[in-house]
C-alpha cells in the first residue's frame, strides 16, 4: 500500500500517503521453518540420488543458496574446487561474492550432471525459473510428507548445521552471503542449544591447569581450549 500510494502521489492523484503513518503488525513467527536432520533424512529417503529433487535439495543444503541463486548455478560457477557466485539480492549494491568449497556429498551429485547447462536446468536444458523451482519444491515436500518444509528452510538448515559444527558467525555469513551478523543470528536460532551448552561447558572444564572451581580470573576463560560439537551428519 505504501508503494501504491507513493505512486499515486507521483501522479498527483493524492497529496499524502496515510499508509506511512501506520505501524506494522507484530508477527509472532520465526519465519520459514528450518529443516532438521530427521526431515532431511525423510526427504532423501523419498527422493533418491539422480532425481531432480535430490539434486536441488543437496545443492541448496550445501551452498545455502536461495532459489533465485540456485537456479542460476552451473559448471561455470565452479572454480578451483569452489562454487562461486554473486547473490542476486545484493547485485544492486555490487553483489556479495560467495565462494564455498564443494562438500564431498555435493561433489558426488554434481559429477553426474551434464556440463553444458545449469545444475537445475529444465528438460530442454534451459535455466529454470525461481518460481518454477518453488512449485516443484512444494510437490516434492508434500510427497515426502513434509509440507511445512521449503526451499528457504534449506538455507536456514545450512546455517544451522554450520553453527552446530562450531562455525563462527563470520564464517557462516561467508557461506550464506549475509552482509550483517544480525541476519546470521536470525538464521542460526534453530541451532541445537543443548549440544552447544554441552560444548560451552566442556570449554569451561578443559581450561588450563585442570582447575575446576568457578572463581577463575576472566583471562583464563580466554585461554580455554575449544571442542567443536561433533554432529551425526556430514557437512
- SS3 annotation, the chain: CHHHHHHHHHCCCCCCCHHHHCCCCCCCCCCCCCCCHHHHHHHHHHCCCCCHHHHHHHHHHHHCCCHHHHCCCCHHHEECCEEEEECHHHHHHCCCEEEEECCHHHHHHHCCCCCCCCCCCCCCCCCCCHHHHHHHHHHHHHHCCCCCCCHHHHHHHHHHHHHHCCCCHHHHHHHHCCCCHHHHHHHCCCCCHHHHHHHHHHHHHCCHHHCCCCCCCHHHHHCCCCCCCCCCCCC
CATH architecture of 37-187: Orthogonal Bundle (1.10)
User: CA 128, CA 7: separation in Å to the nearest integer?
Assistant: 32
Alpha-carbon distance of 23 to 26, in angstroms, equals 9
- pLDDT of the chain along its 235 residues, tens only? 888 888 888 888 888 888 877 766 554 445 789 999 999 999 999 999 999 999 999 999 999 999 999 999 999 999 999 999 998 877 666 667 899 999 999 999 999 999 999 999 999 999 999 999 999 999 999 999 999 999 999 999 998 898 888 888 888 888 888 777 776 776 666 566 666 666 667 766 776 654 555 444 445 434 444 454 454 555 5
| Alpha carbon 156 to chain centroid, angstroms | 4
Q: Which three cell numbers stand for residue 200?
A: 560451552
d(CA 77, CA 61): 17
What are phi and psi for residue 92, nearest 5 degrees?
Answer: -65, -25
Q: How far apart are CA 104 and CA 200, in angstroms?
A: 29
Please tell me the pTM assigned to this model: 0.69
What does the radius of gyration of the chain's CA atoms come to, in whole angstroms? Answer: 22
Amino acid at each position: 500500500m505504501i508503494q501504491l500510494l507513493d505512486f499515486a502521489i507521483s501522479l498527483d492523484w493524492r497529496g499524502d500517503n496515510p499508509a506511512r503513518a501506520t505501524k506494522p503488525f507484530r508477527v509472532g513467527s520465526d519465519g520459514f521453518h528450518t529443516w532438521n536432520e530427521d526431515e532431511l533424512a525423510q526427504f532423501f529417503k523419498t527422493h533418491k540420488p539422480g532425481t531432480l529433487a535430490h539434486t536441488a535439495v543437496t545443492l541448496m543444503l550445501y551452498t545455502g543458496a536461495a532459489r533465485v541463486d540456485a537456479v542460476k548455478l552451473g559448471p561455470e560457477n565452479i572454480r578451483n574446487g569452489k562454487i562461486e557466485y554473486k547473490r542476486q539480492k545484493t547485485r544492486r549494491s555490487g553483489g556479495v561474492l560467495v565462494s564455498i568449497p564443494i562438500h564431498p556429498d555435493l561433489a558426488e551429485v554434481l559429477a553426474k550432471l551434464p556440463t553444458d547447462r545449469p545444475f537445475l536446468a529444465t528438460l530442454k536444458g534451459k535455466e529454470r525459473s525461481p518460481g518454477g523451482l518453488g512449485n516443484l519444491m512444494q510437490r516434492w515436500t508434500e510427497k515426502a510428507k513434509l509440507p511445512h518444509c521449503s526451499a528457504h528452510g534449506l538455507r536456514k538448515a545450512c546455517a544451522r548445521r554450520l553453527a552446530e559444527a562450531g562455525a563462527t558467525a563470520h564464517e557462516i555469513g561467508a557461506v550464506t552471503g549475509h552482509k550483517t551478523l544480525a541476519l546470521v543470528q536470525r538464521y542460526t536460532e534453530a541451532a541445537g542449544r543443548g549440544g552447544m551448552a554441552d560444548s560451552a561447558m566442556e570449554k569451561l572444564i578443559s581450561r588450563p591447569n585442570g582447575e575446576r572451581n568457578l572463581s577463575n580470573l576472566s583471562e583464563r576463560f580466554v585461554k580455554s581450549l575449544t571442542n567443536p560439537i561433533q554432529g551425526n551428519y556430514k557437512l
